């Protein structure tokens, strides 16, 4: 699927979020507004009644054409904490598997007066396609499309970094793993560059590196210890076997021997460096359990912060329609 020009489809005439499809084309001020809005929602999870009435009466539909328990669950929780009604469509059992086209499905959901589609799809550009063809009042949030983008994951990662490190400008961040096939890495790199970090390093075997690293504004390392030397943040990526074709890796065991994060290897990073992972973790492949469960790991915090970020994005796009009550 061809991804159209995305510079203006995400914003309305006043420059506010209409859709959230990609980090690409969004400026630092808007990304900071998302982070600040998420900050205002972060405490909702700690209340006795974990709800605010902001989107009461709105209908948010989860369209997950690709399975993801964690992302779907956090979107559902985020919508419910904003007091919206949530419809999660079981795509495999829906009429799309019986021959109904995607546009037919959209039109039927529009007829039910839905206000937002949260879309996850294996094809790059699917969320853009839906945003282009949805009714004007409907907002679309990309929950991951092919190898293209996963913007809410990138923003919850930015929120995690800001919570633990404060200012982005002096930070050195290392991203380790399958950069070439990772929509998460692509979105993270865009967000980190937009927010002005000092340096982004990508680390992994040559077969999993992008062909044009210079255009991404990153430095490539093929040695893990060298790559994480004196960094402030280490982001480990999950090996996405289903997105790799050909013999790009000899074996998981060899990958772990070269790129698996252990306590010993982590000593190369700064003493207060944090370790992140978008999940789910392949323990003993991307990192040791001692690291995943250790004092530098903020992986569970990422999950919690994901709810606040998704609440922020939903609130900002729906307020465009006058959604705030």
Same domain, 259 and 314: no
pLDDT of 324: 45
CB 243 within 8 A of CB 147: yes
Same domain, 140 and 277: no
pLDDT of 163: 97
pLDDT of 263: 97
Same domain, 236 and 286: yes
User: Whose CA is closest to 76, among 94, 91, 64?
Assistant: 64
In a domain, 4, yes or no: no
pLDDT of 213: 82
CB 163 within 8 A of CB 301: yes
Largest Cα–Cα distance of the chain, in whole Å?
Answer: 57
Residues 39, 41, 42, CA angle at the centre, nearest 5°? 65
Same domain, 207 and 232: yes
pLDDT of 304: 92
pLDDT of 109: 87
pLDDT of 265: 97
Question: 179 lies in which domain range?
Answer: 151-303
Domain harbouring 226, CATH code: 3.40.50.1370
Same domain, 42 and 158: no
The tens place of each residue's pLDDT in the chain, 325 residues long, gives 444 444 579 999 889 999 999 999 999 999 999 999 999 999 887 788 889 999 999 999 999 988 888 899 999 999 999 999 999 886 765 555 555 677 888 888 899 899 999 999 988 999 999 999 999 999 999 999 988 999 999 999 999 999 999 999 999 999 999 999 899 999 999 999 999 999 999 999 998 999 888 889 999 999 999 999 999 999 999 987 654 445 577 678 888 999 999 999 999 999 999 999 998 899 999 999 999 999 999 999 999 999 999 999 999 999 855 544 4
In a domain, 15, yes or no: no
Give me the number of domains the chain comprises: 2
Same domain, 110 and 169: no
In a domain, 21, yes or no: no
Same domain, 177 and 296: yes
In this structure, what is the dihedral angle of CA atoms 211, 279, 253, 204, given to the nearest 10 degrees? 20
R_g (Cα) of the chain, nearest Å? 19
Element (H, E) at 283: none
- According to DSSP, the β-strands at 85-90 and 219-221 are unpaired
**pTM for the full predicted model:** 0.92
pLDDT of 321: 58
């Amino acid at each position: 699927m061809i991804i159209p020009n995305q510079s203006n489809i995400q914003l309305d005439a006043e420059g506010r979020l209409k859709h959230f499809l990609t980090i690409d084309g969004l400026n630092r001020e808007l990304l900071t507004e998302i982070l600040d809005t998420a900050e205002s929602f972060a405490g909702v999870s700690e209340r006795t009644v974990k709800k605010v009435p902001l989107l009461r009466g709105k209908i948010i539909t989860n369209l997950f054409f690709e399975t993801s328990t964690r992302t779907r669950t956090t979107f559902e929780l985020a919508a419910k904490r904003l007091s919206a009604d949530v419809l999660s469509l079981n795509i495999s059992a829906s009429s799309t598997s019986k021959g109904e086209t995607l546009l037919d499905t959209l039109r039927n959901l529009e007829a039910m007066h839905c206000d937002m589609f949260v879309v996850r799809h294996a094809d790059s550009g699917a969320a853009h396609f839906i945003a282009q063809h949805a009714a004007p009042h409907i907002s679309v949030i990309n929950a991951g499309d092919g190898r293209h983008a996963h913007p809410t994951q990138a923003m919850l990662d930015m929120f995690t970094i800001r919570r633990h490190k404060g200012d982005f400008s002096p930070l050195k961040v290392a991203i380790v793993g399958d950069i070439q096939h990772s929509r998460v890495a692509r979105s993270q790199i865009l967000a980190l560059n937009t927010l002005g970090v000092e340096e982004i390093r990508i680390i992994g075997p040559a077969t999993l590196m992008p062909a044009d690293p210079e255009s991404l504004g990153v430095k490539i390392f093929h040695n893990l210890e060298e790559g994480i030397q004196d960094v402030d943040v280490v982001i480990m990526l999950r090996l996405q076997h289903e997105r790799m074709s050909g013999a790009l890796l000899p074996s998981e065991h060899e990958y772990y021997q070269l790129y698996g994060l252990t306590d010993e290897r982590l000593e190369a990073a700064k003493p207060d460096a944090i370790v992140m992972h978008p999940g789910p973790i392949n323990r003993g492949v991307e990192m040791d359990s001692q690291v995943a469960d250790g004092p530098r790991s903020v992986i569970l915090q990422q999950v919690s912060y994901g709810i606040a970020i998704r609440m922020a994005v939903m609130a900002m796009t729906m307020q465009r329609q006058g959604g705030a009550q």
